[in-house]
Structure 1
Amino acid sequence: MKKISLAIGVLLFAAAFTKPIIEDPIKKEIKLDVDNGGIKLAAGFGAVVVAEETGKARHIVVLPNGTIYIKNSNAKDNKGITMLKDTDGDGKADIKEFFGNYIGTGMEVYKGYLYASSNSEVFRYKLNENGDVIDKNAPETVVSGLPDFRQHESKPMTFDEQGKMYVTIGAPSNICQEKDRQKGSVGQMPCPLLEKNGGIWQFDANKLNQKQEDGIRFATGIRNAVAINYDPFSKNVYALQHGRDMLFQHFPEMYSAEQGAELPSEEFLLVKKGSDFGWPYSYFDKEKGKKMLCPEYGGDGKKEYPKADKPIMAFPGHWAPNDVLFYQGNQSGGVPFPAKYKNGAFICFHGSWNRAPKMQAGYFVAFVPFKNGLPSGPYEVFAEDFAGGPEIKSPGDAKARPMGLAEGADGSLYITDSVKGKVWRVMANK
């Protein structure tokens, strides 16, 4: 059984602008699970299951005192936030509590507050110096009244160092047709949804009771970006887009079934103020390396759409990227991850429903090396086998689906599962 020694000490809770980090409160040998909790990891790593059955877990934060908060998309015990604590330092949570009467996805910590989103609001809870929520029943409302049409309704958020909060507002549509997902229905030009959807909005992180009109549309042309994060190294906002569906189903004369499974590519976006990534008028084809005009807007699989900003990297279609974490690697105790991981990006691919006739794909955590704010090499598979086997035919067959990411002060990587709420802590071996 592999063991990893962790350092002594409790850190007081400090202001943070990215997903926070932890240091274990008690010096104790953590025994990694023999089977890594059922997943396969890159060589040199092991995992311990921190908790199971935490709810349909989405995004996660881990605080300086070791407390874990998880946002749920389906309420556990009629609550939408899970709190976990490991009081004896063995790596496994022995306290589990639930609070918050709303479901959702977004969860972050910023300047002494726990921020959590429903599908139409962003709330925050004041934390004490130990990282505990002071009043679980009385969150402050930061933003309310955001669009919620029960399609791409998640409202994940991230924060920069200047007090700005960035919130995804997904488009409640496949491709902005007059009749959504109807074969033969043409795309609307211009797309009216882009006025309040299909982009990333910027708000004041420290101001309460804002509405959408109090923010600014920071970037547009993004169908849906559940994975969004601010990178403290490059000082940029990044997101990953869920691409459109039904190229083959609606246009079999232009796309084969195999092309429909691979297109459009899932896009890794460097998001700047004023960026326009082209939804719904275009999609990205990573084999061509080009933005292509969607057939609903006159495309034929060959016509380009040069107006849109390109991604910095692209992945095969329908992998569903749902979180991204820029690895800081500032270890306090523990065993450091190899140097190549520092400043790079981990990405959770959640898996999708429309890869037929090919097998389901995604369901793994990738690593992308970075240099000077851009990918510096191809992605690598870091953690896989969450789904329980390569032959699953639909997401409903998956035993687990990787969803959220957080980093610990010792360099541990935490991964959540959206099926039952399993939480893994991945650590480098001695």
Structure 2
Amino acid sequence: MKKNLFHALALSSVVTGSAWAQGPAEELKAEARTIFLNSCAASCHNSFVSPKLTDATGEVDWNAVKTHAARILVRVQDGTMPPTRAPASQQISAAQRATLVQYVKTLTTNTPDNGGLPLSNLKLASGFNMEVFAKAQGARSLAVTPDGIVFVGTGGFSNVDPSGRVHAIVPTSTGRKVIALAWNLDNPNGVALKGNDLYVAELTRVIKFKDAVGWVKANVNKNLGKTSAPFTAIYSGLPEQPTHGWKYLGFGPDGKLYMNIGAPCNICLPDRDAYANIVRMNDDGSNFEVVARGVRNTVGFTWDPTTQDMWFTDNGRDQLGDNFPPDELNRLTADGQDFGYPFCHAKTISDPTYGKNQDCNSSAFTKPEVELGAHVASLGLTFYQGDAFPASYQNAIFIAEHGSWNSTRKNGYRLSVVQFSQNASGQTVGTYKPFISGWLNDATQTNWGRPVDVKNYIDGSLLLSDDQTGAIYRIYYQGN
């Protein structure tokens, strides 16, 4: 078993096109391999211990070694691997640790093909790097299985996949493969997993692919043409609307399926039970109910892993200028809360048409936790839950900002982060700042990418979709 892992680590850099294939000193490679075998080899991370670097037969899973390289690197750098409880024979010296860091970095920093995308133009937070994980035309909402399959919805405002597909990115022994789970759906933007079943939101209905995980595993190496997996509709009759009709899906801690229904306009006074709200239902489509009102257009929500509260982004109205109103990061703490649309925007901005007789300071309207950039088109968000980023990012909220569409000066086109801390008064406050920028060239006012959704991946990295390029990026920490 150890020999197999030794062989996998020796070849993984060659297989992935890393710098090790370009001829570093053989004695350095040999030393690094020996250190890895002695400190964290198959005896520690076998098919029974997570993260698993071997399969059920005891053979090395080469994809797993590459997948978890960033996580391994962080633990080697911070001294938590090998663990202090490990036998003395598995402990390593400072010099050995430095050698191991140098070796593992080659598995995380070299990607031979990023699809021709100018990733070097991007500015990342210190210590971070990124690569193209996969490409799927029109990539928008993401859903990740525990074993690393990624389902990808398409459609939405950009509607850049006219084939109406839901994609699946499937790890295989020869690398990741992208296949279509379904074709010819009507803006299948929202995707959500419950067990092995995948739920997809079209414009007017929600459909269910029973055992979608099993289907893509069984068909990943077949020539499927335009064959779709079988599905059933669990909820139909959602309102047809020309604006904000695309849906986002997510299963809450209560096991219910949550979904947005946007306002059918930029600014108007719609039926607030039918539009501009967040709804939920059972996983069979029954017990459909409204849980939040006054939500203009959310295309991203998630749940706080500690409090179980729902957090969601909301896009502010247009035609009040480039700087108003801000987008919102909101928190739902009780059913029935009203977030103000169309009367009030952000924390205290009264709408010039519909807010004249409303008190926007009133407790009747729930205020956002954080005001985001104006017109940045904040969409998908997630709490970071991995263990491969520095501690300051634990439970931080990452927000994909799709970018403005009609501002005089473009805004957004980035991945932002909100980190929480306590101020001098003991209040928890969120600090909002860019995390990755550069999809927008501010000087020329041109953009080459538009982030949409962000999710935790199984190796402690983040995945970020981009519907303009069709890329799903993998963002990982490699240290300074």
TM-score by length of 2: 0.69
One of 307, 310, 316 as aligned partner of 2:373:
316
Root-mean-square deviation over aligned CA pairs: 3.1
1:20 aligns with none
One of 295, 298, 304 as aligned partner of 1:231:
304
Matched, 1:172 2:250: no
Matched, 1:422 2:471: yes
Q: 1:153 to 1:24 in 2, by over 3 A?
A: farther
Letter of the aligned partner of 1:198 in structure 2? A
Q: 1:321 to 1:131 in 2, by over 3 A?
A: farther
The answer to whether the Cα contact below 8 Å between 2:261 and 2:278 also exists between their aligned partners in 1 is: yes
Cα shift at 1:75: 6.5
What are the residue-to-residue correspondences of 1:172-321 with 2, within 5 Å?
A: 172-176=264-268, 191-205=269-283, 207-208=284-285, 210=286, 214-247=287-320, 260-271=321-332, 272-284=334-346, 290-297=347-354, 299=356, 304=360, 306=362, 307-321=364-378
SS of the equivalent of 1:355 reads coil
2:400 aligns with 348
Cα shift at 1:97: 3.5
One of 142, 147, 158 as aligned partner of 2:234:
142
Matched, 1:62 2:144: yes
TM-score by length of 1: 0.77
1:385 aligns with 438
Q: 1:66 to 1:303 in 2, by over 3 A?
A: closer
1:116 aligns with 200
Cα shift at 1:30: 4.3
Cα shift at 1:363: 0.6
Cα shift at 1:193: 2.5
| Higher RCO (Cα < 8 Å, 6 or more apart) | 1
One of 103, 111, 124 as aligned partner of 1:41:
124
Q: Could you tell me how far apart the structure 1 residues matched to 2:277 and 2:49 are? A: 37
Q: Which runs of 5+ in 1 are unaligned?
A: 13-22, 177-190, 248-259, 285-289
2:382 aligns with 325
The answer to whether the Cα contact below 8 Å between 2:301 and 2:310 also exists between their aligned partners in 1 is: yes
Bigger proportion of residues as strand? 1
Cα shift at 1:371: 6.2
2:188 aligns with 104
Q: Could you tell me how far apart the structure 1 residues matched to 2:48 and 2:167 are? A: 22
Q: Could you tell me how far apart the structure 2 residues matched to 1:107 and 1:62 are? A: 10
What does the per-residue CA deviation read over 1:145-199, in whole Å, with 9 as the maximum and x for residues that have no partner? Answer: 11121200111022222221211000111221xxxxxxxxxxxxxx343120001
What does the per-residue CA deviation read over 1:49-71, in whole Å, with 9 as the maximum and x for residues that have no partner? Answer: 1223x111111122222222110
Cα shift at 1:283: 1.5
Cα shift at 1:134: 7.2
SS of the equivalent of 1:224 reads coil
The answer to whether the Cα contact below 8 Å between 2:181 and 2:216 also exists between their aligned partners in 1 is: no
Q: Which runs of 5+ in 2 are unaligned?
A: 1-17, 21-35, 51-60, 67-106, 113-117, 220-227
Q: Could you tell me how far apart the structure 2 residues matched to 1:201 and 1:2 are? A: 50
1:188 aligns with none
Cα shift at 1:270: 0.6
Letter of the aligned partner of 2:403 in structure 1? G
Letter of the aligned partner of 2:140 in structure 1? R
What are the residue-to-residue correspondences of 1:126-141 with 2, within 5 Å?
A: 126-127=210-211, 132=216, 136-141=228-233
Q: Could you tell me how far apart the structure 1 residues matched to 2:211 and 2:64 are? A: 21
Q: Could you tell me how far apart the structure 1 residues matched to 2:257 and 2:131 are? A: 33
1:179 aligns with none
SS of the equivalent of 1:26 reads helix
Q: Could you tell me how far apart the structure 1 residues matched to 2:108 and 2:350 are? A: 53
Q: 1:321 to 1:274 in 2, by over 3 A?
A: same
How many residues matched? 367
Letter of the aligned partner of 1:401 in structure 2? R
The answer to whether the Cα contact below 8 Å between 1:104 and 1:119 also exists between their aligned partners in 2 is: yes
What does the per-residue CA deviation read over 1:318-338, in whole Å, with 9 as the maximum and x for residues that have no partner? Answer: 011011111111x4xxxx100
Letter of the aligned partner of 1:344 in structure 2? A
Q: 1:351 to 1:129 in 2, by over 3 A?
A: closer
Q: Could you tell me how far apart the structure 2 residues matched to 1:382 and 1:200 are? A: 28
What does the per-residue CA deviation read over 1:241-285, in whole Å, with 9 as the maximum and x for residues that have no partner? Answer: 1111112xxxxxxxxxxxx2111111111113111011111122x
Q: Could you tell me how far apart the structure 2 residues matched to 1:55 and 1:415 are? A: 14
Cα shift at 1:9: 5.4
Letter of the aligned partner of 1:120 in structure 2? T
Bigger proportion of residues as helix? 2
Q: 1:370 to 1:139 in 2, by over 3 A?
A: farther
One of 415, 418, 423 as aligned partner of 1:365:
415
SS of the equivalent of 2:374 reads coil
- Whose Rg is larger? 2
